[in-house]
Amino acid sequence: MPNEDQDNVHTEGAATPVSPGQRRRRLAIPVIAAAVALVIGAAGGAGAVKMMRPMPEMAPLAPVAISAMPGSSLVTIKGKVAEIYGNKFVLQDDSGKALVETG
């Protein structure tokens, strides 16, 4: 015959049952917080990089004839590639040729 004391066992400090919905909510909060922290960090890092690096100088959009190019200024030229030499090429238009170094 079973002992009646065993049927009425009282456990102190036992965890209360948690529903699956509550479990999902408990897990979602830290995940959302981590995602928000990553987004804020990425945006801040991108902004810091932009502020530290100066913007490159851009050439004007209107192309200049190769024969009218100044010796030492930033220009836009348009033509066909006539020859290639490693990291340099010769660009040719109706007015002449120019050696372009790609760096």
59-90 confidence digits (pLDDT tens): 778 899 999 988 888 889 999 999 999 999 99
What's at 14, amino acid-wise?
A
Instruction: Return the SS3 of 81.
Output: strand
Q: Answer whether residue 8 shows pLDDT above 60.
A: no
Q: Is residue 91 part of a domain?
A: yes
Look at the block and give the residue holding tokens 């372009």. 100
- Quick one: pLDDT at residue 7? 52
Q: Is residue 38 part of a domain?
A: yes
29-67 confidence digits (pLDDT tens): 888 888 888 888 887 777 776 676 676 777 778 899 999
Q: Is residue 13 part of a domain?
A: no
Please indicate, yes or no, whether residues 71 and 51 belong to a single structural domain of this protein.
no
Please indicate, yes or no, whether residues 96 and 70 belong to a single structural domain of this protein.
yes
Q: Is residue 6 part of a domain?
A: no
Query: For the whole model, what pTM was predicted?
Result: 0.43
Q: Which domain holds residue 83?
A: 66-101
Q: Is residue 84 part of a domain?
A: yes
Q: Is residue 46 part of a domain?
A: yes
Please indicate, yes or no, whether residues 43 and 71 belong to a single structural domain of this protein.
no
Q: Is residue 14 part of a domain?
A: no
Report how many domains make up the chain: 2
Cα separation, 8 vs 29, in Å, equals 38
Q: Which of 53, 52, 76, 55 is nearest to 66 (CA)?
A: 76
Q: Is residue 83 part of a domain?
A: yes
- Quick one: pLDDT at residue 60? 79
